[in-house]
Structure 1
Amino acid sequence: MKIYTKTGDHGQTRIIGKQIVNKDDARVNAYGTVDELNSWVGYIISTLSSKTTVLTEELTEIQQLLFDAGTDLATPKDDERHHFIFEHEGKATAFLEQKIDSYTEKVPAVKKFILPGGSQTAAQLHVARTVTRRAERLIVSLQSQNPINQDVLVFINRLSDYFFAAARYANMLDGQTDVLYRNSKPVFK
């Protein structure tokens, strides 16, 4: 089986349901950025330190969930042969919230903005957070043009919070201190 279709030679791609759209279509931008994020998470897993390797299982689960989310973003809601597969019971978002709460309890309280960085793992998790935020903006743009699975948007919104909390936790595990933004007034209460 050949993996190239040559559809892209003309700046187009085929989405689920066989519809052909331009590669700069809002749908392609949304699921493409989720794919980029998934690749970034895979990279993070490959570089975890001996102290942060405890994150492997949950990051792998996040990759699975991102693949499902991307599939739904690539699927038009009115496609009769394909249905949304991202779960509709909120379990994925609840999973993230549990992790966020757990990590927030384990790290020192922070009332000011912190600079992205610290250990290698924490810095990479902060990059994942910003890619997630970009994906979220693109998903919002897509939903203004086409109906989407709203569970995907909620999950992606919570995922950026997860990456923030996980980055702070990774810094703690690696013995790094978060660096506060010097001009930040108290923002977290």
Structure 2
Amino acid sequence: MVRLTRIYTRTGDGGSTRLSDMTPTRKTDARVEAYGDVDEANSCLGLALAAGGLPLAVADLLRAVQNEMFDLGADLSTPLRPEPRWEPLRITEDYVDRLERWCDAFGDPLPALTSFILPGGSLAAAQLHLARTVTRRAERKAWAAVEAYGTEPVGEEAGPGGVNLTALTYLNRLSDLLFILIRVVNGPDGDILWVPGGERDHPALDPDLGGPRRRRAAPLQEDQL
């Protein structure tokens, strides 16, 4: 059981923090940024849930994912060690398998896409778009941590340990799942499709009305008839 007896500690006022295994590091470390982005993505899911308008099955799934994202943050904040002092909480393949099953269950009934989707639709769907993009950022930051620390267990005397690759796979699948759930939330006719180059003739701004006005086509000349 986690016990939080005092929220402020003053230990991070100098720009440093400690990982879950008490390894000291800077707050700008790629590993810290990765699990910070996971926290941000989780907050976006909380906004989507608070907004309402989600199908019950989607809301229940997102609540389960929110809990898993705390597991994910715990994993990313704990370097891989060959002989840890206590058994760390890790993202394992069954987490990823569960995401893939959800992707199939919710995604298979959806119609095929003919273009990319613009962020938007309902309020909850737009917030899920935000969660999806923050999840992508978390994945990129986690890969930066891999580049810095590798993926192998390292003894404390040798420096910070590696990063669990399965945690990165989870982030990748989670962004896929969120994309699918966005389409579910917006409904079969709710996809806002990207039209490449299709909005180059933007509405002109009418200074008298203070609003958008479509440009009128110039009258055809005799030689164009």
Give the TM-score category using the shorter length.
0.7 to 0.9
Structure 2: 5+ residue stretches without partners: 150-161, 198-225
Which residue does the alignment assign to 2:65?
Answer: 62
CA deviation string 1:139-179 (max 9, x = no partner): 0000111211111111100000000000000001xx75211
Which residue does the alignment assign to 1:177?
Answer: 190
Q: 1:29 and 2:33 equivalent?
A: yes
What's the % identity of the aligned pairs? Answer: 40
Which residue does the alignment assign to 1:73?
Answer: 76
| 1:105 Cα deviation after fit | 2.3
Secondary structure of 2:44's counterpart equals: helix
1:1-189 matched pairs, under 5 angstroms:
1-49=5-53, 51-78=54-81, 80-88=84-92, 90-146=93-149, 147-172=162-187, 177-183=190-196
Secondary structure of 1:9's counterpart equals: coil
Computed over aligned residues only, the root mean square deviation of the Cα atoms, in angstroms, reads 1.8
| 1:106 Cα deviation after fit | 2.4
Separation of aligned partners in 2, 1:169 and 1:76? 37
Structure 1: 5+ residue stretches without partners: 185-189
Letter in 1 for 2:75: D
| 1:28 Cα deviation after fit | 0.7
Range 56-65 or range 175-184, more displaced: 175-184
CA deviation string 1:104-156 (max 9, x = no partner): 22222102111111111211111111001000000000011121111111110
TM-score (norm: length of structure 1): 0.88
Range 39-48 or range 149-158, more displaced: 39-48
Aligned pair count reads 180
TM-score (norm: length of structure 2): 0.74
